[in-house]
Chains A and B, each alone.
Chain A
Amino acid sequence: MIPAAFDYEAPNTIDEAVRALAEADDEVKILAGGQSLLPVLRMRLAAPAKLIDLGRIGELQGVRTDGDMLVIGAMTSHYDVQRDPLLNEHAKLLVMATDTVADPQVRHRGTFGGSLAHADPAGDLLAPALALDVEMVIAGPRGRRTVPAAEFFVDYFTTAVGEDELLCEIRVPKYTGWHAHYEKFNRVAQAWSIVGVAAAVRPDGHMIAEARVGLTNMASVPVRARGVEQALVGQEATPEAIRAAAEHALDGTSPTADGNADVAYREHLAKVLTSRAVSAAATS
């Protein structure tokens, strides 16, 4: 199908992009990798007056270190995230979740920041970002501000990014030496998660010293499973202990029903998959 006509602008810098946002008076949409936006436009489910394409902004690309943090440019593609040595060493959970996103074509076009800013609750990168306490750097006409992941996701497809702002960087604490696993449950390989569980643990011998767990598609926003995390700390990584901890997986969730899963089944899956994700992380 063919989208309705729209104006198009492709700034070269973040400052130019912010200016373009400020100057646009009609409805404007930011185009990152286009893997969610373009289908919506082509099906004419949205008809923005203008698209601002971030694809030419070099400073939004790539991964670097900044002290004890990693900084991921919002326009870094999934493909580049998968292969980045810094992320593979210090934030393996993000890489593992990215491995499960769609197919190779989509991973070449789609971007890390675009997925987070789109905030589809079935998207696979939100829960890992939340679990790892990343920070979002948002640029706007009043300069830059940093929002913790816990405050970034507001509702279905809604984030803390204002209408005149754009997500430019994601700052990730280093989880060096942590073990991770992303357990995605879907029906065919290229589909969105029915439920997903992101788990990272810091082992101390046979014990779990610290844990981070986030859930995909168990509410309108990603859910941090703090009850599970607390139950795991100080435990030996036995199947029994992990299963017991996973019983807390539903704290703070409010799942909905769809054709693939009703609420009861989704809740059941969340517990089973939490147990599996933590086990896989702890034994990896």
Chain B
Amino acid sequence: MTATADSHAGGEVGQARLRKEDARLIAGRTRWTDNMSLPGMMHMAILRSPLAHARINRIDASEARSMSGVEAVVTGADVADDQGSLPCAWPITEDMKSPNAPSLAVDEVNFAGEAVAVVVARSAAEAHDALEAIDVDYEDLPVVLDMSSAMTEGSDLVHPDLGTNASATWVFDSAEAGTGGSADEALAGAEVTIHRTFRQQRLIPAFMEPRSILVDPTGEQTTMWSATQVPHILRLMLAMTTGVDEHKIRVIAPDVGGGFGGKLQVTPEEVITFLVARKLGKPVKYTESRSESFTSAHHGRDQIQKLSLAADRNGTVTGLKVELLADMGAYLRLVTPGVPILGAFMFNAIYKIPAYHFSCTNVFTNKVPTDAYRGAGRPEATFAIERMMDELAAELGMDPLEVRERNWIKHDEFPYTTVSTLTYDSGNYEAATARARELFGYDALRAEQAERRRRGDTVQLGIGVSTFTEMCGLAPSRVLGALSYGAGGWEHGAVRMLPTGKVEVITGSSPHGQGHETAWSQIVADRLGVGFDDVEVLHGDTQSSHKGLDTYGSRSLTVGAMAVVQAADKVIAKARKIAAHMMECAEGDVEFSGGRFTVRGTDTSTSIQEIALAVFAAHDLPDGVEPSLDSEATFDPENFSFPHGTHLCATEVDTETGRVRLRSYVAVDDVGNVVNPMIVEGQVQGGLAQGIAQALFEEAVYDETGTLTSGTLADYLVPSAADLPSFTTDRTETPSTTNALGVKGVGEAGTIASTPAVVNSVVDAVRHMGVRDIEMPCTPMRVWRAIHGGAQ
């Protein structure tokens, strides 16, 4: 890429360092959970319900129990007293309805794929063989799949004991909150109104490494290795769910092969493996297959979004009303109910919208539970508002960039408090848009588009715009508290100087591919003035990293690295005291730079490594100073960070077949200061691929019986490099003012921005043929039908 802002002053931060962890991750010769084996280890396999909703009348496992190598067969009835209810940490309203959520179904299954029984055997093959010998007598119950019909009077119920399929309704109204006017009044008096309903299809996170769990109960503590994003949350929730004392549980997330939010969960599989291993007193391992992953690991998105936008004739938005139905699936998992609520703060996006109303009703269906998936609520919101801005532009005959500029927050208006209560600290939408426009060749493509339309080309050109922002760095604990979330949003870090001058960094943010080891090393190397290779970053083990809130919501750098920075600063402060003592001067006369403490105005100096050795020896420390050069810190952000950017997408739509070809894609992102531009580039590129996948390719499809028909990677179309163009990426750098690093987070930006850019582009290509919307994913058949009429 042609970065305009890669300047760095000779330090580590800003350099495109190759990632320390890549050799082992790419070769796979590392500590994936499934690579591990313990003496006497048993293998577990899970029998899953083939039915979406059924009563379990009887389970006959007698034949399975007698099969070769089988150690045990465990059913829900066997663990009914121990398994508790899987946790939901986000009760969004006081009267939210939440069903009991067993890890192993006891007398009812509520989605196809729900765990019904497990076999533990000496080998994985024997465990799978025995699964086939378990006979379950199911009695069909009515299946609820469609959210809209689930909300009608007299609908069949997923959980009859709750008396409704609605879990909760969450409302925000700017008139009531005092942050703006009434959206209904704005709509009633508007010169122009736009009404649209969009469908956020259900997606499957499709992380590369399937989930895998190994539990060793043979010790004072029970140790669990799990391919999880959240080892710290998992430990706490295991204790709270099963009643086993927290200090008797150790959780390790070894190297983890991706997650995208899909491993931000406390899963039935983890609880079952934990209970079964403890019951047997033997180590037990479970690794899911891809098909199991698709039918049991949580899904993402799945909303129906009804939007009404009010504007005046010159394109100024005067109000926005958003009504959502959000599919919870069969149960509320860890943050299921809160995901659509995160979107509530993002529908107003980068715009100054004077009146805003948001309501969301969470609905139960007999499907896999939904939960966080890369962006979690924010892609859904961004998609809808960016589609609406294009629709407004089309309605008024204006250029979509012009409509956006008329409404967005100008760079000299920051900090800006939005109608949905957030305060954006910084941003420069003008700069990012100008750069994107230039790289894209916007005017030339508009001219080509007009020419193709004029001559009736069978291949039409579309231009899609997405100017987005997002809230990153989850999160200020007080904000989470106000939203009824069950935990805070701080992060922990520690820095330990070893006697030889090497450094151990401990972070509570548990990576699953992001490159923490590299980025944290760069930051600490600069801070302490030590070598990049002299820093080791430890993570993902509740024994070494005893405190943390883990990795999601683009929080690692903005929150996790900030904790490490603060710990490093405490180490420096302590070392300064010792340096002054060693050099026999006042502490105020000691300067620290490049790893050396110098007596101001002299050439007397000592290095931080020399101090580390002196502290180890502890022969001559100042009074009251402990012999340790370690420190820890916990950072709780004051505010979110707000990355933004302008993405432009050109597509060619074959009007004879409906096929969409991505012709070019420009992404100009502003993620604040950049620690490692190569890592940022990787996040942007991967995020684009994932967001484009929602626009064009991926969809979790259920048939009328509640069977997932997109249950394999042959049916659930994850695009590869062969399906994507070379992206043109660039950055503007407007530092965040909410953290000392000036960083904003980049993990979700590409995913959030790209979906509307692509769909806007496809609609733009065929708008002159009467098309106003195309449901995602924009498959060739859907596009062709939109052009040529007929039911979609």
Contact = CB atoms under 8 A, between A and B. Distances in A.
A144 interface: no
A169 B650 CA distance: 48
B701 A259 contact: yes
Contacts of A2: 124-125, 128
B128 A265 contact: no
Interface string B126-139: 00110010000000
B705 to A, nearest CB: 15
B723 A261 contact: no
Contact of A259 (B124, B712, B715): B715
A2, A261, A268, A272, most chain B CB atoms within 10 A: A2
Interface stretch (B459-467, B739-747, B776-784): B776-784
A56 B640 CA distance: 62
Interface in A174-223: 185, 187-192, 194
B779 A44 contact: no
Contacts of A260: 779-781
Interface in A220-251: none
A188 B781 contact: no
A260 B714 CA distance: 12
Nearest to A42: B289
B210 to A, nearest CB: 11
A2 B291 CA distance: 12
Interface residues of B, number: 29
Contacts of A264: 790
Contacts of A268: 784
Given A187-B717, A188-B720, A194-B780, 10 more contacts: A2-B125, A4-B128, A4-B129, A185-B657, A187-B780, A189-B720, A262-B781, A265-B785, A272-B657, A273-B657
B149 interface: no
B657 A269 contact: yes
Interface of A: 1-2, 4-5, 42-44, 103, 185, 187-192, 194, 259-262, 264-265, 268-269, 272-273
Contacts of B701: 259
B623 to A, nearest CB: 66
A188 B723 CA distance: 6
A260 B777 CA distance: 11
Closest 9 CB pairs of A and B: A189-B722, A1-B289, A2-B125, A188-B717, A2-B128, A265-B781, A188-B723, A272-B656, A188-B719
B172 interface: no
17 contacts: A2-B128, A4-B132, A5-B125, A185-B657, A187-B780, A188-B719, A188-B720, A188-B722, A188-B723, A189-B723, A191-B717, A192-B714, A259-B701, A259-B715, A265-B785, A272-B657, A273-B657
Contacts of A43: 291, 712
A259 B709 contact: yes
Contacts of B442: none
A190 B714 CA distance: 9
A190, A262, A273, most chain B CB atoms within 10 A: A190
Nearest to A185: B657
A268 B785 CA distance: 11
Interface of B (DSSP majority class): loop
B124, B132, B656, B722, most chain A CB atoms within 10 A: B656
Contacts of B125: 2, 5
A4 B717 CA distance: 28
A44 B722 CA distance: 31
B719 to A, nearest CB: 5
A187, A190, A260, A264, most chain B CB atoms within 10 A: A187
Contact of B291 (A1, A187, A190, A192): A1
B697 interface: yes
Contacts of A261: 781
A44 B784 contact: no
A190 B720 contact: yes
Given A4-B129, A268-B784, A187 B779 contact: yes
B386 to A, nearest CB: 24
A171 to B, nearest CB: 32
A5 B722 contact: no
Nearest to B717: A188
A190 B291 CA distance: 18
Contact of A188 (B128, B291, B697, B710): B697
A272 B658 CA distance: 11
Interface in B706-739: 709-710, 712, 714-715, 717-720, 722-723
Interface string B390-418: 00000000000000000000000000000
Given A2-B124, A4-B129, A187 B697 contact: yes
Interface string B761-792: 00000000000000000011100110000100
A32 to B, nearest CB: 19
A51 B656 CA distance: 46
A188 B689 CA distance: 13
A238 B125 CA distance: 61
A264 B128 CA distance: 42
A267 to B, nearest CB: 12
A265 B125 CA distance: 44
A104 to B, nearest CB: 11
A44 B132 CA distance: 10
Contacts of A273: 657
B722 A265 contact: no
A1 B710 CA distance: 18
A82 B686 CA distance: 32
A191 B659 CA distance: 15
Contacts of A269: 657
A254 to B, nearest CB: 19
A103 B718 CA distance: 14
A261 B781 CA distance: 6
A57 B721 CA distance: 36
B697 A265 contact: no
Nearest to A192: B714
B460 to A, nearest CB: 16
B128, B657, B718, B790, most chain A CB atoms within 10 A: B657
Interface in B88-143: 124-125, 128-129, 132
Nearest to B699: A259
B172 to A, nearest CB: 37
A5 B129 contact: yes
Contacts of B657: 185, 269, 272-273
B760 to A, nearest CB: 20
Contacts of A262: 781
A264 B785 CA distance: 10
